[in-house]
Structure 1
Amino acid sequence: MTGHLTTEYLVIGAGPAGLQMAHHLQRGGQEYLVLDEGSAPGGFFSRYPRHRQMISNNKRYSGSSDPEFNLRVDWNSLLSDDPDLLFTRYSESYFPQADDFVRYLADFATKLRLRLKSGRRVTRVSRDQDGFSVTDDHGDTYLAQRVIVATGVSLPNVPDIPGIELADQYATVSVDPDDFTDQRVLIIGKGNAALETADNLIASAAVIHVAGPNPLRLAWHSHFVGHLRAVNNNFLDTYLLKAQNAVLNVGIERIAKTEAGYEVDFRFTRGVRPIAYDRVIACTGFRFDAGPFDESCRPALAINDRFPELTGAYESANVEGLYFAGTLTQQLDYRNSTNGFIHGFRYGVRALHRTLQERHHGVPWPQQEVVPRTEDLAAAILDRINRSSGLWQQFGILADVLVVTGSGPARYYEEVPVRQLGTRGFADTDDVFAVTLEYGPTPENKVPFDGTILHASEGADFHPVIRHYRAGDLVATCHLASDLENDWRRPDAHVVPLEDFLKSSVAEHATR
């Protein structure tokens, strides 16, 4: 050991989540340090995606000059008060290059003077009654009251298939199409990495099969941006229009090496069939690396051990004081919302910091007072849902919370994690309204591009939802109508129905 450093917060990882957390800790006046194994921030994005085109929207023009509203369509910028630190200034491409994002992260860390120690790989994390002890590969030890892990999912998620070790991995396989000329290629997996890889080989490979046991999911149908995006689905044309390629919904029983290449056994509905390939590539995602944590603070895992198991406060379910930020928090909304992506977890990180401020520093959750007349309550809600980027991006996960008490002004809290509503200690006499933006249930036969219904309530389209709680119980729910341009200010469809809903609730409160 060459030395040690004591700090209040130790952040592990200097990707977008780690830098976002560092910025909030710095603004909040907390003592912190960020450790990262790379020579510069954003090491993951210096390697991935392999073909370098990101699928996070970089929409530079929205028709609005409101910076809060503009973050609805800017999926790459981190949250700060510096207007120059917007990613829209770094690339003109709607789907930008990953190298531009790496450059942006470096500037974010430098311009905000974040406290970052690079080239330090964490090798061990332990905990005792005094806090955490973190050791790096230089032998230095860091003592911290709390640890925030923002390393992302750094290990390949390898499926349990006999012979899978024979396959090339997405992380290391060649991205030169000429290396696959006239070859038969199997790609295991059906996510964006798999289809990105397939698309890269369309012009050079003889046959490409994309296979996995579960049906392929399209983001435009599921509303989950991690499902297959249109930018990666050119390959589907080559299958459906008979160009010797295929998407197979099959289980894989075995991968075996042969003199000519590989033989893969697939389980079809009528039995097992072997198919020969020249190359096999596994594009099966990533998982969290819990290796550095010893038994004193090893976090419980969830979802086939791919992610840490968390509370609604982004804290490990079994290790007090161990928090997680960024894509590692997607256990909270797995394949439903946006905690796994920059445009979602930037708000999750802010919510985590506000939680820490409340718990450990006596700083209350940001709130405003509102006159408890129904017109004022409705106006406060409508103003937020028509410009908020946090509610928009973290749909169904973050809620604005309006608390109406027996006397005095109402209190309006912004972007509270829905999972924290039951633990915030509202009085039994309070009327609590949770305001979210959500998609409704998607019918199996819904046409994704059906624009014939401009205003509908409780449908599959994006719309505001206001839930009324009393003493922790759900009393009533109001679904405001969806709108073609997501402008929820129509008197007949939005203002009057919301005022009527609030009026009935507040009037009932007054008579109790």
Structure 2
Amino acid sequence: MSAVTLDYLIIGAGPAGLQLAALLEADGTRDYVVLESADGPGSFFATYPRHRQLISINKPHTGTDDPELNLRLDWNSLLTDDPALLFTQYTERYFPDADVMVRYLADFAAKTGVKVSYGTRVTRVSKHDDVFTVEAGDRHWKARAVIVATGVSKTYAPDIPGFELAEGYDVMSVEPRDYLDQKVLIIGKGNSAFETADNLMETTTLIHVAGPSSVRMAWRTHYVGHLRAVNNNFLDTYQLKSANSILDGTIKSIERDGTGYKVAFSFSRANEVVKELHYDRVLACTGFRFDASIFDASARPQLTIKDRFPAQTEEWESVNVPGLFFAGTISQVRDFKKSTSGFVHGFRYAVRALHRILSRRYDAMDWPFTRLPADPAAMAAAVIERVNRTSALWQQFGFLADVLTVAGEEARYHEEVPVDYFVSTGLRTAEHDHDRAFVITLEYGPDHDQVDPFDITVSRVAQDVVGQAHDAAYLHPVVRYRSGGQLISTHHLAENLENQWDRPEVHVRPLQEFLGRCLSGVEG
């Protein structure tokens, strides 16, 4: 039990909680503690995914020894300066086993020396006089700020009469022979649903995967939470008439029918025809939600997106409880189904940004920066160097940005700033009261998910063509000039197959000229 008011109290020792704790530990100046209900870190991965194969890629062999570039293809490592604490040191499997993640997180916690109290289940969080009290049984801690990094720990139950009759993803058997010669309905159209369907195809007589939304493929939308190719074998069995089907529509009810189940299903693409279907088993793979039960009325966060996530500001702070912050997969509400904040390779950078936001607010520390002369050539060189190496902007496309601020003859280069945070809060300091800024992101084109990327009849802009860069669909750097709080002008760097945006006449010179026009007042 804390005898003093801690600077920060973190709930949850999963990847996000450990990442933030490691950053605080490295600071060496903040009082903090992590409370974890399980006996070790990463307890979510001890159970999920149920079929044990992660869909976060792991590629040790990249052809480069640049640690920053390597993180583009390492979706599991937390941020660390210790090469021994890279996930790629633990396995060469492209899609690793979840048990490896459990072992990795245990080593990360031990070697970074983070302060974690295991076996400590938080039972109540309250707030009075701007101080939080966090209780775990008969113990309690006080803190000026609480960061919740518990993930989405409860299964989500849609409003379907009889849904309680379905076997949940968290408790269903994963042994295929338990479903021998059975007809199975799987509710949900995400990766957990198709992962389950793939596992059962050999032993069931029939599988239907059902839900009201369209199946969206990650290779088309670039959102890694949509259906991944590694889980989509089931689609072949449907389209090649091999006994299985995908049902588009709404489940009206689930009822017991002898030893099986009777399901009323309304087909959305057949004039809302309602059909009675019969199954031996009904499995619910409908995703997860945030558990807000530990918060009393004084600290209960407002929820959003069907009450599945806490509503958050651009600082990942509760919209209605000041000082209550969120980290990890529950922070994805800020870029829901657009970028990668719901996954380790995205939120590891969001957590680092949160650490800097907390340092600015509570400890009056500047966002880290590098000084540059306010000169187009020097600024262009800095941008080109970063976009060709950064993993943060690569993973958190369109969400995190590097920001070049200009005040007088000085420019400052700030890395990995949330775009919305910069627009709302800025990076001004007493000695650098900037009014102009360049916001640098990596982005796909605005309609990138509307086109089949494998359809060769669909024309694309030629790579390395300067005049067509703004029409690029593939990932490429975008530089936006802001002045007086307003967006003034935008410059796109031409896309490139090898993601090398450094050709003098194609990338460097046009960028330098754009920066020069903006600085001289010609642009805008």
TM-score > 0.5, shorter chain as reference:
yes
C-alpha separation in 1, matches of 2:232 and 2:488: 44
Aligned positions of 1:199-210 closer than 5 A: 199-210=198-209
C-alpha separation in 1, matches of 2:291 and 2:183: 33
C-alpha separation in 1, matches of 2:342 and 2:389: 23
SS in 1 for 2:132: strand
Which residue does the alignment assign to 1:161? Answer: 160
Which residue does the alignment assign to 2:99? Answer: 99
C-alpha separation in 1, matches of 2:485 and 2:197: 50
Kept in 2, the 8 Å contact 1:428–1:472? The answer is no
Which residue does the alignment assign to 2:318? Answer: 316
Between 343-352 and 437-446, the greater mean CA deviation after superposition = 437-446
Kept in 2, the 8 Å contact 1:133–1:144? The answer is yes
Q: Shift of the alpha carbon at 1:219? A: 0.1
Aligned positions of 1:99-498 closer than 5 A: 99-137=99-137, 139-268=138-267, 269-270=270-271, 271-405=273-407, 407-422=408-423, 423-424=425-426, 426=428, 430-442=435-447, 446-449=451-454, 453-455=462-464, 457-458=469-470, 459-498=472-511
C-alpha separation in 2, matches of 1:279 and 1:209: 11
Q: Shift of the alpha carbon at 1:424? A: 1.6
Name the amino acid aligned to 1:121. R
SS in 2 for 1:235: helix
C-alpha separation in 2, matches of 1:79 and 1:340: 16
Name the amino acid aligned to 2:318. S
Q: Deviations over 1:82-124 (max 9, x none)?
A: 1110000011100000000100000000011110000111000
Kept in 2, the 8 Å contact 1:206–1:244? The answer is yes
Name the amino acid aligned to 1:51. H
Q: Shift of the alpha carbon at 1:428? A: 8.5
Q: Deviations over 1:188-246 (max 9, x none)?
A: 00000000000000100000000000100000000000000000001111111111001
Over the matched positions of the two proteins, sequence identity in percent amounts to 54
Name the amino acid aligned to 1:313. E
Q: Shift of the alpha carbon at 1:372? A: 1.7
Q: Shift of the alpha carbon at 1:425? A: 5.7
C-alpha separation in 2, matches of 1:75 and 1:217: 21
Name the amino acid aligned to 1:176. E
What is the Cα-based RMSD across aligned positions, in Å? Answer: 1.7
C-alpha separation in 2, matches of 1:206 and 1:466: 54
Kept in 2, the 8 Å contact 1:358–1:364? The answer is yes
Q: Shift of the alpha carbon at 1:363? A: 1.6
Q: Shift of the alpha carbon at 1:390? A: 0.8
Q: Shift of the alpha carbon at 1:485? A: 0.9
C-alpha separation in 2, matches of 1:174 and 1:56: 24
Q: Deviations over 1:330-373 (max 9, x none)?
A: 00000000110000000000000001111111221000111222
Q: Deviations over 1:154-200 (max 9, x none)?
A: 01110000000000000110000000011000000000000000000
Between 263-272 and 338-347, the greater mean CA deviation after superposition = 263-272
Q: Shift of the alpha carbon at 1:130? A: 4.5
Which residue does the alignment assign to 1:88? Answer: 88
Which residue does the alignment assign to 2:75? Answer: 75
2:514 paired with 1:501: yes
Give structure 1 stretches of 5+ with no counterpart: none
Q: Shift of the alpha carbon at 1:443? A: 5.4
Count how many residue pairs are aligned between Structure 1 and Structure 2.
508
Which residue does the alignment assign to 1:45? Answer: 45
Q: Shift of the alpha carbon at 1:281? A: 0.4
Which residue does the alignment assign to 2:34? Answer: 34
C-alpha separation in 2, matches of 1:102 and 1:402: 39
Kept in 2, the 8 Å contact 1:365–1:413? The answer is yes
Q: Shift of the alpha carbon at 1:145? A: 1.1
Kept in 2, the 8 Å contact 1:185–1:280? The answer is yes
C-alpha separation in 2, matches of 1:409 and 1:5: 42
SS in 2 for 1:84: helix
Kept in 2, the 8 Å contact 1:429–1:470? The answer is no
Q: Shift of the alpha carbon at 1:429? A: 6.5
Q: Shift of the alpha carbon at 1:404? A: 1.8
Give structure 2 stretches of 5+ with no counterpart: none
